[in-house]
Amino acid sequence: MKLSPRDALAFFEKPDPGRAGILIYGPDPMRCALRREQVIARLIGPEGPGEMRLTRLAPGDLRGDPAALGDAMRATGFFPGPRVVFVDGATEQMAKAAAAALNDWQPGDAQIVAVAGNLTKGNALRKLFEGHPKAVAAAVYADPPGRAEVETMVARAGLRDLPAPAMADLVALAQTIDPGDFAQTLEKLALYKLDDPDPVSAADIAAVAPMSTEAELDDMLGAVADGASDRLGPLLKRLQAQGTTPVTMAIGALRHFRTLHAIAAHPGGPSQGVAALRPPLFGPRRDRMQRQAAQWGRPRLEEALHALVDTDLALRSGGQTAPQGAMIERVLIRLSFLARR
């Protein structure tokens, strides 16, 4: 049976013990691995692998011995309880062995959990699991988790009674980072708030969220937009020491000020403008960008964008004799003074 995305989420959370096999496939190995871990934990419990109720097979094991899958499925374990046979990197070549194992499956046998990459509609393994009455196939897409899925992950991490703003920040964060990083962030947040009676806040989330590789660049652009020209020199020197090129700074500045312009130009005002951003901003950065957009206003932001576009074009042209570092410094200092007008 083929599961729809909505049915797949419910199945991952509560898999059917009456199914002989589950095929999880998709283009993102991390997302597939997270779903596989979730399904296996639901089927055999957290102690299952330690009690040897989880058997791992590789596709190479089946090429030399096609019957190995069926044998592992019917094997009797030393510890009582449900069992799982996990096949990682499943390929089309194992379709024949999987068909025989699924046909022979009886209640009490181990369930097969196979994980594959991106499979086409005509793939024999995918067609087998989608069409077999004892099996299911679920595609895992690279879409960021929605609110319902984030709420499930939050509850699984042991976080309870989150305020609405904190939940909104977590939903926004889930759309901007890798799913594995987001799952680790929730675990860190649960530990961070352990025995803390205060509700989860935006500052708590920011404290445990992964540091962006562009954090230094973001700090510098924040200083420019805030008009903090006294902080600009040391931040620019730090970026240059790290090897950040003037073109990279120009691209980052254009992105930052275009975002501010989108916020300021929204018909409903900066508060609605920042809420309409995709991907969304969260926590202190969202509040800071909203404040900057309101402070600058649309006309001055358009003036800043014109200056940045001109500088970006000059940096990329081959006929310039002025040092590129001086060019980007000049426009950023100019913008920092423009912010205070």
**Same domain membership, residue 234 and residue 279:** yes
**pLDDT > 90? residue 24:** yes
The pTM of the full predicted model, rounded to 2 decimals, is 0.59
pLDDT in tens, 220-249: 888 888 888 888 888 888 888 777 888 888
- In a shared domain, residues 238 and 186: no
Q: What is the CATH number of the domain that holds 291?
A: 1.20.272.10
Q: How confident is residue 100, by pLDDT bands cut at 50, 70 and 90?
A: very high
- Same domain for 25 and 124? yes
| Co-location of 159 and 284 in the same domain | no
Same domain? For 250 and 159 the reply is no
Say yes or no to pLDDT of 113 above 50.
Answer: yes
> How high is the pLDDT of residue 213?
44
Same domain, 173 and 153: yes
The model's confidence at residue 211, banded by pLDDT at 50, 70 and 90, is low
Residue 267: is its pLDDT beyond 70?
A: yes
Based on the domain organization, do 6 and 132 belong to the same domain? yes
Domain match, 199 and 260 both? no
**Judgement on whether residues 21 and 115 belong to the same structural domain of the protein:** yes
The reported pLDDT for the residue numbered 131 is: 93
Q: Give the total number of structural domains in the chain.
A: 3
| Residues 318 and 222 occupy one common structural domain | yes
- Same domain flag for 252 and 184: no
Residues 114 and 24 in one domain: yes
Highest mean predicted confidence (pLDDT) among 22-26, 204-208, 234-238: 22-26
164, 183, 208 — which closes off a domain? Answer: 208
Distance CA 140, CA 152 (A): 17
Question: Domain with 53 in it: what CATH number?
Answer: 3.40.50.300
Which domain does 248 fall in, by range? 215-338
User: Per-residue pLDDT for 335 more than 70?
Assistant: yes
Tell which of 93, 119, 139 closes a domain. Answer: 139
Domain end position, chosen among 139, 160, 190: 139
pLDDT in tens, 127-143: 999 999 999 999 988 77
Long-range own/partner contacts, residues 95-100 (CB < 8 A, 24 or more apart) = 95/124, 95/125, 95/128, 96/66, 97/62, 97/66, 97/67, 97/68, 97/69, 97/70, 98/21, 98/69, 98/125, 98/128, 98/129, 99/128, 99/132, 100/66, 100/67, 100/69, 100/70
